[in-house]
Amino acid sequence: MVEDRQPPRLPVDEGREHLMVQVARMAWQQDRSQTEIAAETGLNRWQVSRLLQEARELGIVRIEIVPRLRRRPDVEATLVKAFGLRDAMVVPATAGPDAVAQAAGQYLAAIKPQPRLVGVSWGRTMAAIAHWLPPDWADGVQVVQINGTVAPIPQATGHNEVAETFARRGRGTFVPLPVPAVVGERVTREVLERDRIVADVLSLARSAPVLCFSMGALTEDAALVQSGNVTAAEIAALARAGAVGDVLGRYVDARGNIVDENLDARTIGLSLSDLKASARAIGVVSGQDKHRITLAALRAGLVNVVVTDEETAAYALEHVHDR
């Protein structure tokens, strides 16, 4: 009788977990077959299969079932054509409060080739995106903050946590921008931006091939107001001057032009020109109070990718030809 023998199990040593990670990445991130993995690693197919099984048992690999988001491809195509965008994601209004953030997380994880450097802003929307990013959405990504994060009013959570979570879930590192979003005087901003550390972070942010940021409504519960960077009185004055909201703390009118040059001169972070020059500037926005700032950002070319809800997209398309 011929004895059916399986190849012996690999000995457990300090390199075994590293080998599990290597094999798991080849299988699930690079979509390679067990035969291909075996040929490259010098293992046989049984050993590859066993390593993949152990990786799941030990929690090195977690299989997560995430229902696909419903999308409106017809609206997406119309948005792309109307505003000359690179891409768009539009989720139905009935998809739920976090659907846009979830869609943005999925969009970032699906970018190919995988970006090695990503710039992010902060705020409630960005925190939701960080929460919905798939684990291991990237492998060794560097995440840089693209606007100031120091809040004059102490917050329950730090604004660096968005970039930190992006980096941690992408097996990478983050680079903070440890200054306020808005300072009291123009000269203060000029001095800070001449500082080597701040200048280096901003230079790195400008070089990021992917930027991801939200937009702020012109309301007193906006993140910039709640954090103390902008006062309620300043919001009222901005509204009287024709502002419709902000992008990275830069308040613009319906055509995407800066409304208050003095306030803008006190704002630290990437400029509107930097956003226009970006290879992939992803604006993530939803809700009725952000309809006007979304339209302004699209008109001015401050985003070339938009992730939004159906009602916001419909508003932008309805008013695309407004003068």
Q: Which of 317, 305, 319 is nearest to 89 (CA)?
A: 305
Comma-separated ranges of CATH 3.40.50.1360 domains in the chain: 73-318
CA–CA distance, 1 with 6 (Å, rounded to integer): 16
- Count CB neighbours of 135 within 10 A: 12
Q: The tokens of 161 are what? A: 């946590």
b/e map 1-28, b = 16+ CB within 10 Å? eeeeeeeeeeeeeeeeeebbeebbbbbe
CATH 3.50.50.60 fits 1-63, yes or no: no
pLDDT at 68: 57
pLDDT at position 209: 97
pTM of the model: 0.78
Residue 5: the pLDDT is: 47
Task: Kindly report, as residue ranges, where domains of CATH 1.10.10.60 are found in the chain.
Answer: 1-63
What was the pLDDT predicted at 3? 45
Q: Which residue has the tokens 């009602």?
A: 311
Is pLDDT of 243 > 50?
yes
Instruction: Find out whether 264 and 190 touch, Cβ atoms under 8 Å.
Output: no
Residue 147's closest CA among 267, 14, 258?
267
Per-residue pLDDT tens digits for 155-170: 545 567 899 999 999 9
The mean per-residue pLDDT over the stretch 285-292 comes to 95
Residue with tokens 């690693």: 41
Per DSSP, 150 falls in state B
Check whether 66 has a pLDDT greater than 60.
no
Q: Which residues of 91-130 are buried (b: 16+ CB within 10 A; e: fewer)?
A: beeebeeebbbbbbbbbbbebeebbebbbbbbbebbbbbb
Q: Output b/e per residue, 36-64; b: 16+ Cβ within 10 A.
A: ebbeeeebeeebbbbbbebbeeeeebeee
The pLDDT confidence band at residue 147, using thresholds 50, 70 and 90, is very high
pLDDT at 74 over 80: yes
The yes/no answer on whether domain 73-318 falls in CATH 3.40.50.1360 is yes
